[in-house]
Structure 1
Amino acid sequence: MRAFARFACIDWSGAAGERQKGIAIAACPTGDAAPQLVGTPGRWSRVDVRDWLLALADEGADMLIGMDFSGSFPFADAGAFFPGWASSPADARALWALVDTIASAEPHLAANSFVDHADAAPHFRRHGGREGHAFGGGTGRMRIVESRTAATPASCFNLVGAKQVGKASLTGMRLLRQLDGRIPVWPFDPVPASGPVLVEIYTGIAAMAAGLPRNRTKVRDTATLARALAALDSATPPPLARCDDHSTDAIITAAWLRRAAARPELWQPAPPFSPTLAAKEGWTFGVP
């Protein structure tokens, strides 16, 4: 199992527009130093994040980076991402390519045209009471990993409500396609001996590991942030200019990732995890 010198968390956003108040990045070295925010929260664009990651690739940075979006859609439950669509991709990399190609004319790594595509739309729950016939009702389809997490997951096909992760995941897939070949993404790629590595993370897992209740994982005050970081054997950063939950999600998760990276079972999850499943659905780092 490889050791890393630095750790980072990207709290991502699928919201419309160029600059995203929901994007924050925090990073920390080995040891117990407090994670520090990178750049200015609320001023990042998705393209900025892509370029920051490409710079890390050029640098050969010895960094493990968690990205807070799903790297793929459910596949195993129905034998396809989009049952009934002849162009439904065979694996996650082909899915990234399909999303990025269909949405290629949209700026800011947006993916609205993919959701509006005649063959994709029936699989999503969208605003305005538009639920496609293939959405499946209820909470929607889930990946295998989402049935294993102690946190409360949401279907990637759901684009409605505060807990929806579909928009972030679709824009994240465009990011992954544009990074493909420059930074390995576990578990789609093997972990290299050097250089940066990306993993999918869920900030709720980190928050619960820091002692926060399952239904109250968002931190918006410095005292709670300090307690959460102490539970992760981490120092607390100086008072934040703005103690919003995007910044604290990134800070807490970077500290958690520093500890979690040393746990072998998180790099080799138990069955039904397998290379075949990983190539299609990916996996959330932190779910053994």
Structure 2
Amino acid sequence: MSEFTFGVSLLSTTRWAEKCRRAEELGYDHIAVPDHLGPGRPAPFPALVAAAAVTERVQVGTLVSNVPFYTMALFARDVASTNQLAGGRLVLGVGSGHMKREFDDAGLPWQKAADRITYLAEGLDELRTRLDGEGGMPRLLIAGNSDGVLRLAAEQADIVGFAGLRQKRGAAPGTFVLDNAEVMDERVRYFRALAGEREIEYNMLVQRVVITDDRAAVAEEWGAADTEHTDGAVEELLETPQLLFGTEDEIVAQLIARRERYGFSYITVFEPMLEIFAPIVARLRGR
């Protein structure tokens, strides 16, 4: 079973160097940047170069690059230059895109999921070819929830990324709900059947961390406030692997149990949880 490693997804360029140094100081292993449009959102590759420049140990990466945003010629140039400038510390995370409003904002056509996944698969083939003379493909993370993306990850990824979000049936594109524990069981089981004996690291993107003596109260409050992403009852939310509610001891136990159940050993939290999650990082490093 893989040892735990930990990452933080940084969401804005505010106090960038300070946050990157702090993440490394707190023991995080990865600094990640998402690929979204909007005010204050960092452009991933320049931000990762800047992160690498002010740190020494952490790996830097996209979580994840929205591949259908790009032509592969330009994407390959950015990947190669970023990995070189980061001293080989780049972990390239890729996905097929899921936010229709961002495609609209960028003036790009919104295609059905199957077509976006095909673009991702063909793009990775071209990317490998283009990077062949540029130091090769960096360590590759493929993240998603659909059969098609998980199949691609099983074939090619060094790391598979699970966010545990799925399109809400009958809702507008970009409306998501959390997968519960049983659905996550099915997704991981499906992936494992395809991956066979390949050694692949499993990443979980945690949506929320709350240190509390009353897990049930926090789950009830969170579920009531976040109806857009939550369909389940309190008892279901407490078992959902994307949520970590409890005392430090309880969260440590949850992560160990979920590594045993799902294989999740590489845990990523969002920037607002950088400090909150740090004691958990300290307790589980090397375990």
Could you state the TM-score of these two structures normalised by the residue count of structure 2? 0.29
Structure with the higher fraction of residues in helix conformation: 2
Q: Larger RCO: Structure 1 or Structure 2 (Cα < 8 Å, ≥ 6 residues apart)?
A: 1
Could you state the TM-score of these two structures normalised by the residue count of structure 1? 0.29
